Amino acid sequence: GAVVSQHPSRVICKSGTSVKIECRSLDFQATTMFWYRQFPKQSLMLMATSNEGSKATYEQGVEKDKFLINHASLTLSTLTVTSAHPEDSSFYICSAREGGGAHNEQFFGPGTRLTVL
Amino acid sequence: AQSVTQLGSHVSVSEGALVLLRCNYSSSVPPYLFWYVQYPNQGLQLLLKYTSAATLVKGINGFEAEFKKSETSFHLTKPSAHMSDAAEYFCAVSGYSSASKIIFGSGTRLSIRP
């Protein structure tokens, strides 16, 4: 299957700093990318959906000013956690879908472990 | 609205035994259904998906699932468990439209006893 990469794989930062996570589709063009967060021993919760060249659509309860998403190209989306706090510590996973239809498979990245001290 | 319910947060089976992970779905529209596997500190890998073709879906690593509309179920099975099957398994549902999102269940951790 297609490959989605995330960078960094893990990051530790101080409270109040901003952290950027990159999500890349390596061998296909991703029309749509999704960002999830996963707390320990819990399921994935969708944070936002981004389509290349347009603003991201955030799920209810997700602060768009805190979690900035940019999908500037068909192979790259970034998630910036601004003014991070310890409660933002989580496992962040992105996925990418090549076509616009739901029948197109979503390919998941390996995840980024964020720890905010 | 769509949702999935995974019965049992933890399932333990002996190596070589049948694996059965249960999933029931709720959907107001014909669903797409998925099973994903997640190994520790990794992303998700698609095991199999149902997209309204055959009701019995065969996936990777010897897993299969059967879509039963009358029971609103999509249980995952494997005839003989292997130690390498130990992981977290997520059932998920989405609709058909391009705006549909994948909604994940709470997950079932599968342990394999030697």
What DSSP state is assigned to residue A103? T
CB within 8 Å: B107 and A105: no
Integer Cα distance of A72 and A55 in angstroms:
10
pLDDT in tens, B25-52: 998 878 899 999 999 878 889 999 998 7
Q: Which of B86, B105, B9, B95 is nearest to A45 (CA)?
A: B105
Q: How many CB pairs under 8 A join A and B?
A: 53
pLDDT in tens, A15-40: 999 999 999 999 888 888 999 999 88
Position A103 confidence tier, pLDDT thresholds 50, 70, 90: low
Q: Which of B41, B90, B82 is nearest to B65 (CA)?
A: B90
Mean local confidence (pLDDT), B75-102: 90
Position B68 confidence tier, pLDDT thresholds 50, 70, 90: very high
Neighboring chain A residues of B57 at a CB cutoff of 8 Å: none
Pairing of strands A32-38, A44-51: antiparallel
User: Percent of chain B beyond pLDDT 70?
Assistant: 98
Q: What is the pLDDT of residue A101?
A: 64
> What count of other Cβ atoms lies within 10 Å of the Cβ of residue B97?
10
Q: What is the pLDDT of residue B75?
A: 98
> Which amino acid appears at position B14 of this protein?
S
Q: What is the pLDDT of residue B53?
A: 77
Chain A CA closest to residue B89: A43
Mean local confidence (pLDDT), A34-58: 89
3-state secondary structure of A99: coil
